Structure 1
Amino acid sequence: MLVLGFPVGPLQANCYVLAPGRGGPCVVVDPGQDALEPLAEQFAENELTPAGVLLTHGHFDHVFSAGELGERYGIASWLHPADRHMLTDPGAALGPAGRQLFGDGLRMSAPAEVHELVPGTPVEVAGLRFDVTHTPGHTGGSVLYGIEAEEGGRLLLSGDTLFAGAIGRTDLPGGDHDRMLASLAEEILPLADDVVVLPGHGPTTTIGRERAGNPFLQGLPVADAVTRTENPR
């Protein structure tokens, strides 16, 4: 499986491209600000054709280019319904201060075709199958995308739910710290240590590394060893 990732825009949100291999269809995850040009370069270099866009949540630094990408290539986006309003009102999750700070930078084109994610129901696109897990906290519609790699192992696209050494902020409109802690305890900690995490910002990590060193996971209920090693989900 081909996995490409690079930061985009002023907030350096990670955009990812996943495909079964070179020379075929691919999936784009979180095409934020200024993503179109680097995406086009990756498509050309690897002979890829985008088949769909997966969005981990509705914040503009993760969805900004989804509309233009959909228009350019005739593809749909997937997003949890709790965050769909942000596609037409990107300032909704920022509050008055955020709207003033970003100003005209919040003007974006919403995707013409949006499929609502149903947690527990996989999304299959470009020959890849992504499991969908709802993890409210950073936003009401934040999700994780999990996928098995053909080479072995599992990848987790965590959006802004989990970072290397940190978690997403919960002080913006739609954020909820208690729900975030519940999402981490119920959906992150039970995962196997060797799951590779591709976060919404910053470097790649693993569940094991975060379980051992992420201060926001310390003190949360820990799943038993059987769950973590025999049922990695």
Structure 2
Amino acid sequence: MLVVGFPTGAFQANCYLVAPGEGEPCVIVDPGQDAVEPITDALRKHRLSPVAALLTHGHFDHVYSVAPICDGNDIPAWIHPDDREMLTDPLKGISTEGAQFFGGRLEMREPSEVRELDDGVLLELAGLTLTVDHTPGHTRGSVVFRSELDEGGRVLFAGDTLFAGSIGRTDLPGGDMATMATTLRTKLMTLADDTVVLPGHGPSTTIGRERASNPFLLGLDDPSGTGPMRGL
């Protein structure tokens, strides 16, 4: 599997291009702010042909470029229905203070084709098999995408559900700490320790590393959690 990742926009949200290898079809995970140019450059450099954009959740720092990317390449966007409204009304996903930062205006539109994700669905795209897990907590419609590699091992595109040493914020509209704790306990901590986690912000990690040291995972029995949360 080829994974090309880079941070985008003011919030440095990670965008990933995922393909079986160089010169192959690919999917684009989370085309965020200012992502069109680096995505175009990466597609050209690695000779990749996009077939879909996969969105881990609806926050604008992860989806801002989805319409130009999808419509420019004639591909669909996939998002969980609980977050779909943020594609046309991104202010629904941010705090009042955040909205004021943008002057109360942040315009987006849906791509021409939007398909909705569901929990447990297997996506067969670009020669890849990706399992979709609904992981609410950061937003109501957050999902993660996981895959087993032909060469062995496992990879998880975690969005803002899990980071190296932290988790996504739960104090924004649609977020909930108790729901996040349930998600982490039932959806992520059941994964193998060697699962490589590619998060929505910051560096990669593994499930085993987070199980051993992430304060939010160590404190799952405490609804308040401990440590700083990340994300938009």
TM interval, short-chain normalised: over 0.9
The residue identity in structure 2 corresponding to 1:220 is L
Counterpart of 1:130? 130
The residue identity in structure 2 corresponding to 1:115 is R
The residue identity in structure 2 corresponding to 1:130 is L
C-alpha deviation, 1:104, in angstroms:
7.4
The 1-side partners of 2:219 and 2:165 are apart by 15
C-alpha deviation, 1:105, in angstroms:
7.1
The residue identity in structure 1 corresponding to 2:63 is V
The 2-side partners of 1:178 and 1:149 are apart by 32
C-alpha deviation, 1:99, in angstroms:
1.2
Counterpart of 2:183? 183
The count of aligned residue pairs is 221
The residue identity in structure 2 corresponding to 1:87 is L
Q: Which secondary structure state, in structure 1, belongs to the residue aligned with residue 216 of structure 2?
A: coil
The 2-side partners of 1:141 and 1:182 are apart by 15
Counterpart of 1:229? none
Aligned pairs (5 A) from 1:135-214: 135-214=135-214
Q: Which secondary structure state, in structure 2, belongs to the residue aligned with residue 4 of structure 1?
A: strand
C-alpha deviation, 1:167, in angstroms:
0.2
| 8 Å contact kept, 2:32–2:60 | yes
Counterpart of 2:14? 14
| 8 Å contact kept, 1:120–1:131 | yes
Counterpart of 2:98? 98
Structure 2 unpaired stretches of 5+ = 222-232
Over aligned residues, Cα RMSD in angstroms?
1.2
Q: Which secondary structure state, in structure 2, belongs to the residue aligned with residue 103 of structure 1?
A: coil
| 4+ residue segments displaced more than 3 Å | none
Structure 1 unpaired stretches of 5+ = 222-233
C-alpha deviation, 1:149, in angstroms:
1.3
Over the matched positions of the two proteins, sequence identity in percent amounts to 58
Counterpart of 1:87? 87
C-alpha deviation, 1:220, in angstroms:
2.8
Q: Which secondary structure state, in structure 2, belongs to the residue aligned with residue 26 of structure 1?
A: strand
Per-residue CA distance 1:168-221 (angstroms, 9 max, x = gap): 000001001100011001111111100000000000000000000000001337
Per-residue CA distance 1:54-84 (angstroms, 9 max, x = gap): 0000000000011110110000011000000
Q: Which secondary structure state, in structure 1, belongs to the residue aligned with residue 169 of structure 2?
A: coil
Q: Which secondary structure state, in structure 2, belongs to the residue aligned with residue 217 of structure 1?
A: helix
The residue identity in structure 2 corresponding to 1:141 is G
The 2-side partners of 1:42 and 1:174 are apart by 33
| 8 Å contact kept, 1:68–1:109 | no
Per-residue CA distance 1:9-55 (angstroms, 9 max, x = gap): 00000000000111121100000000010011111111111110000
The 2-side partners of 1:125 and 1:28 are apart by 11
| 8 Å contact kept, 1:145–1:157 | yes
